[in-house]
Structure 1
Amino acid sequence: MTLKLDKVNRGPHLSTLVASSISREIAQGRLKPGDQLPTEAALATTFGVSRNVVREAIARLRSEGRIWSQQGRGAFVVESNNPTVLTIDHETLQRADSFRNLFELRGILEVQAAALAAKRRSDADLKAMGDALSGMRAAPYGSVAWLRSDLEFHRTVAEATRNSYMGQFLVFVSERVRESILAAGNQQKSDDMARITLGEHERILRAIRAGDAEGAQAAMRDHLAGAALRVGLHEREAAEPGAPVQEVASPVRHSRLRKAVRGQA
């Protein structure tokens, strides 16, 4: 078994890169069904990363159904080459069309999730959403900590639907979107962007707290329209579920958002 593993570039998504590299070895047949992966220590040395990063990568591969592991024995490639769950390769999402498609899928799911959350949320859900917003307020806009709290907010909205499949799938898609944003580093950053983005999340939370399903849908659409602009997706090609971006945000707010994105506000 000869593997072609290289050190990975430093960044906030190291475990994703390590997992993608191992997945590529499996896809190209250098790691065959039943093969045992190198030890955690060996992989850490090969990739030039910490053992914690390797553990995260292994956990991800295990959740994707590509490997299985047994304490005391190690990790092994699954006997079937077909993963048991949906996977989205990190390299694939570096293509603009793939990222746009994923963003579109996220939008379709999250708008409906917001409506269901407004109908089904509990007090604990509302507190979790509020805590996530507090985490966003406390972190620099666009930082790893900000994006982590942002993801947590959307995760709690998904969980409030009381639909376990929707929750799991939305978290999966949202994590892939977050990783791609971190990798590309193309999110606009400014004080205006922080204020606008927090305002979008606050409107989503207010509608969900009020049990306003239609309001929650509208607030989520507005947020996704703004998010599409902030990550550089063209309006009409972006993930706008159900209506053009121009029909989602009010003219005044949308104009301010455009100026902020361009650094004019």
Structure 2
Amino acid sequence: MSEMNVQPVTRRPHLAEHIARSLSDEIASGRLRPGDRLPTEQFLSQNFGVSRNVVREGIATLRAQGLIQSRQGVGVFVSATSQASEPLAPQASAPMLDGDNTIRNMFEVRAVLESQAAALTASHMTPAKLKVIQAAVLRMQYEGEPTLETVNADLDFHRAVAAASGNDYLETMIRTVLEPMRALITMNFARRGPVFSNIPHAARGEHEELVQAFIDRNATAARQIMGEHIVNAASRFGYEITFF
């Protein structure tokens, strides 16, 4: 897993300033465009290795500069007046799911369905099923920058887990939820810069944890890891959801 380009600092004010400067650079370069949602506090906290209070200080600095704006109960977004360049790829501006609530609801549905599928898959694991799942994880490896194949491998992993559950109805429901999220995943994987470059690697690392639970045939662990994976995925897209 690649490391974030974060310089170690010892004083809290410097750390908050560093976060603000890093996000400001993302906006100035166009990697964060007007209207884009910022990752959640949890995601930024984990990637910068700081507390959420420090992240809030950095966000407050950007808000004071007019670079971002908060929407009550929705999230933090890049201001419409912020400078931005053209999108990195056509897929990054493709029509996606309609509305914030829809996207959040889709992640919540995925957490419920896919955690159960993971538990069933661990219980019903066979060498043949494991081979298909592992192949999808290996395909997420890349050199340089992620490609559409990285996105396909990510989706194929989740489809393979669903198929290995042995429940045709559950598999069908998961496939139905996954496909509309393709454009959203493509957009996030296409983002560059120190704040976003770790996203595909983080997803792959969580997939590897699931594979180990499947190898161990540990249904309890598989359910928990998959639920947390979907929560983390939602956080990387800027949505806070809860998995019970």
Alignment of 1:80-119 (within 5 A): 93-119=97-123
Question: What SS class does the counterpart of residue 138 from structure 1 fall into?
Answer: coil
Q: Which residue of 1 aligns with 2:178?
A: 174
Q: Which residue of 2 aligns with 1:211?
A: 217
Cα drift, residue 203 of structure 1: 0.4
Cα drift, residue 231 of structure 1: 1.0
Q: Which residue of 2 aligns with 1:163?
A: 167
> Structure 2: which 5+ residue stretches go unaligned?
1-88
Q: Quick check: 1:141–1:194 contact (8 Å CA) kept in 2?
A: no
1:124 maps to 2:164? no
Structure whose alpha-carbon radius of gyration is higher: 1
Deviations 1:209-256 (A, max 9, x none): 1100011012112211210111111x2xx2x331xxxxxxxxxxxxxx
Cα drift, residue 141 of structure 1: 5.9
Cα drift, residue 172 of structure 1: 1.5
Q: Quick check: 2:123–2:217 contact (8 Å CA) kept in 1?
A: yes
What is the aligned length? 152
Change (3 A) 1:140 1:206: farther
Q: Distance in 1 between matches of 2:233 and 2:144?
A: 17
Q: Distance in 2 between matches of 1:180 and 1:195?
A: 17
Q: Which residue of 2 aligns with 1:227?
A: 233
Change (3 A) 1:171 1:140: farther
Q: Which residue of 2 aligns with 1:148?
A: 152
Change (3 A) 1:152 1:186: closer
Q: Which residue of 2 aligns with 1:241?
A: 243
Q: Quick check: 1:119–1:212 contact (8 Å CA) kept in 2?
A: yes
Q: Distance in 2 between matches of 1:232 and 1:152?
A: 23
Cα drift, residue 191 of structure 1: 4.5
Change (3 A) 1:113 1:141: farther
Alignment of 1:11-50 (within 5 A): 11-12=90-91
TM-score (norm 1): 0.52
Deviations 1:110-155 (A, max 9, x none): 0111000000122111001111011101376653211100111111
Alignment of 1:181-220 (within 5 A): 181-182=185-186, 185-186=187-188, 189=192, 190-220=196-226
Cα drift, residue 175 of structure 1: 1.1
Deviations 1:46-73 (A, max 9, x none): xxxxxxxxxxxxxxxxxxxxxxxxxxxx
Question: What SS class does the counterpart of residue 229 from structure 2 fall into?
Answer: helix
Q: Which protein has greater RCO, CA pairs closer than 8 Å, 6+ apart? A: 2
Change (3 A) 1:98 1:198: same
Change (3 A) 1:199 1:101: same
Residue identity in the other structure for 2:205 = G
Q: Quick check: 1:139–1:146 contact (8 Å CA) kept in 2?
A: no
Q: Quick check: 1:118–1:211 contact (8 Å CA) kept in 2?
A: yes
Residue identity in the other structure for 2:147 = S
Q: Distance in 2 between matches of 1:107 and 1:206?
A: 19
Change (3 A) 1:126 1:12: same
Cα drift, residue 192 of structure 1: 3.1
Q: Distance in 1 between matches of 2:123 and 2:90?
A: 39
Q: Distance in 2 between matches of 1:122 and 1:163?
A: 15
TM-score (norm 2): 0.56
Change (3 A) 1:174 1:131: same
> Structure 1: which 5+ residue stretches go unaligned?
1-9, 18-89, 243-265
- Give percent identity, aligned residues only: 32
